[in-house]
Amino acid sequence: MSIELVGLALLMLAVTYPARAVPLLAPHFEQLPPPVLAYLRLVGPAVLASIAAVEILVRPTDAGVELAIGWEAVSVVACAAIVAWRRNLALGLLVAVVLIALLRAAGIA
């Protein structure tokens, strides 16, 4: 086991823990106005969605970056459609993962 990344993990802990601990340590945090609480609840999913979108839709090239529409993007659209239709995120994610796994196993993706 290598310990090369322990410093990075500790730095990540020092940066992210205070943001996660604010609701636990700040008095009356739950008494913020409802729009503020709704906004704060959606920050995490929005950041994760933006990271996922870049990982799926952007491909580095010698000249910079380019938009890449591939099978992964198709699986994301399928996931979003199932979530919108069935209101079930777990089912949508499962369909997306199985779709990509099957396409990769078949050598298509």
CA dist., res. 78 & res. 91, Å (int)? 11
Q: Give 10-residue mean pLDDT values along the chain (109 residues).
A: 83 84 75 86 85 87 88 91 93 94 92
pLDDT value for 30: 75
pLDDT value for 75: 92
Taking every pair of Cα atoms in the chain, the longest distance, rounded to a whole number of angstroms, is: 55
CA dist., res. 50 & res. 41, Å (int)? 16
pLDDT value for 41: 83
**Would you say the pTM of this structure is higher than 0.85?**
no
